[in-house]
Amino acid sequence: MNTLIILSALGIITLFAEIFRFRKALFPLILLGLAGAFVATSFEYCDHPQSIFNMMIFDKYAVVFSCSLILICFLWFMMARNYFLQETSVTDHFALILFALAGAVVMVSYSNLVMLFLGIEILSVSVYVLAASDKASVLSNEAGFKYFLMGSFASGFLLFGITLIYGATGSFDLGTIEQFVASNPSSGLVTVGVLLMLTGLAFKSSLAPFHFWAPDVYDGAPTTVTAFMATVVKTAAFGAFFRLFSTSFAGVSGQWTTVLWWFAVLTMFAGNLSALRQFSVKRMLAYSSIAHAGYIAIAIVSVSTNGTSAQAILYYTLTYSIATITAFTVLYIVERNTGRNDFGAFEGMAKNNPFLALVTTVAMLSLAGIPPTAGFFGKYYIFLTALNSHNASLVVIAVVAALIGVYYYFRVIISMYFKPEKSDIPASIGSLHQIVLFITTLLTLLLGIFPDWVLRWI
């Protein structure tokens, strides 16, 4: 609960930065506030979950996921600072991000379907505005409008599903719903409600065939906002997805695991095959994000091993987010200096800026799942969870899809090391970006060597 209080207060304070003229102190204040929120959240880690009026629960799952979200957001602020300082409405941008983070924390901590919906809407409304925040760009305006329309439509599915679940069980409480579903697995209202909620959450998680909004929104939004959507938003979406389906709907898993199985397969191949055809690195990373959503969905399909699945989702989302922050930081630097985001903009980077090429290589290797990076062990734990749940066929399909993904990640590496040098690639970068890239690259390597640093907490 302290986490939400700190984040909400920080967002409100940010809104007053222009009025009381402390805009210059805003960025360090936010970093300090996020650090305080991280510490406050870690203090709530214990064996006895804290329930807040039966609406939210801060158990180990919620605390660890909240810490992960705050850490990712902290790194994101360091990555995005220069972009937002160019904006006159910097306080509005920062406040929206902080409120979105508060919504993300609610999404991984809810124990009541009302709080799930509120968390999703708090997060979504903020991101709708951020996606369209580049007023001079037609693509950004289109991205925000498309995300708003499609997101509202998906929220309707989710809300209708919640309504049917309430109609069948008479409660929004996850525990009460779990008991009713376990004793009435053949209830028609429950079945339809579960499938509608599955559809809504599949959209929020960009799972195929409900992924069609993601490439255009990710490509049109400002690069820094895209990075936030691909990391914090995706982590929160899957954290909420797994909490609901591994508890309340575990009793009818036979009714939705097959559907989600096909969603996962379609997502992995739709993301990877579409990424092969892209000439823009930003759009490639958008389709890559879709493919990674398919890998994460495998752990939800393997819901019978709850503890292992939770570990796999936490580790995968954290390591994927860290590598993605690296990739988008480099992409932002390249875009700012060259005005391009295609593969050609990365040509010869290794000769002009070896550090930038090195960190990009580590990020691409992690996203591709190449050892000894953290991305390799992320896929390993996902696949291990599936094998333990007797989903060997899904693992084989996922391995084939992952091999396809190796190709387009290595396109970036080949461009940097084996193409002629381009004079417009930056020879040096700002100190803040150097710090972000150093931290994320180091974490990518260390978490690949010591995965237990994350796994033991949940």
Burial (CB count <10 Å: 0-12, 13-18, 19+), residue 24 = exposed
- How far apart, in whole angstroms, are the C-alpha atoms of residue 243 and residue 105? 13
Per-residue pLDDT of the chain (458 residues; tens, 9 = 90+): 788 999 999 999 988 877 777 777 888 899 999 999 999 999 888 878 888 888 999 889 999 999 999 999 999 999 988 777 665 577 888 899 999 999 999 999 999 999 999 999 999 999 999 998 887 888 888 889 989 988 888 899 999 999 999 999 999 999 999 999 888 888 889 999 999 999 999 998 999 888 888 888 998 899 999 999 999 999 999 999 999 998 888 888 888 999 999 999 999 999 999 999 888 899 999 999 999 999 999 999 987 545 688 899 999 999 999 999 999 999 999 888 887 888 888 888 888 889 999 999 999 999 999 989 999 999 999 999 999 888 899 999 999 999 999 999 999 999 899 888 765 677 678 889 999 999 999 999 999 999 888 888 87
Number of domains in the chain: 1
Helix (H, G, I), strand (E, B) or coil at 352: helix
Distance CA 123, CA 120 (A): 5
Range of the domain at 172: 2-455
Axis crossing angle, helix 234-247 with helix 174-183, rounded to the nearest 10: 50
Cα–Cα distances in angstroms (integers) from residue 33 to residues 13, 18, 291, 316, in the given order = 11, 18, 34, 26
Q: Is 386:394 a contact under the CB 8 Å cutoff?
A: yes
What single-letter amino acid sits at 196? L
Find the distance separating the first CA and the last CA of the chain, reported in whole Å: 19
pTM of the model: 0.93
| C-alpha to C-alpha distance for 30 and 35, rounded to whole angstroms | 8
Residue pair 375/366 in contact by the 8 Å Cβ criterion: yes
Q: What does the chain come to in residues?
A: 458
User: What ranges in 248-305 are assigned the alpha helix state H?
Assistant: 253-276, 281-301
Residue 25's alpha-carbon distances to 14, 36, 170, 452, in angstroms, are: 10, 16, 49, 37
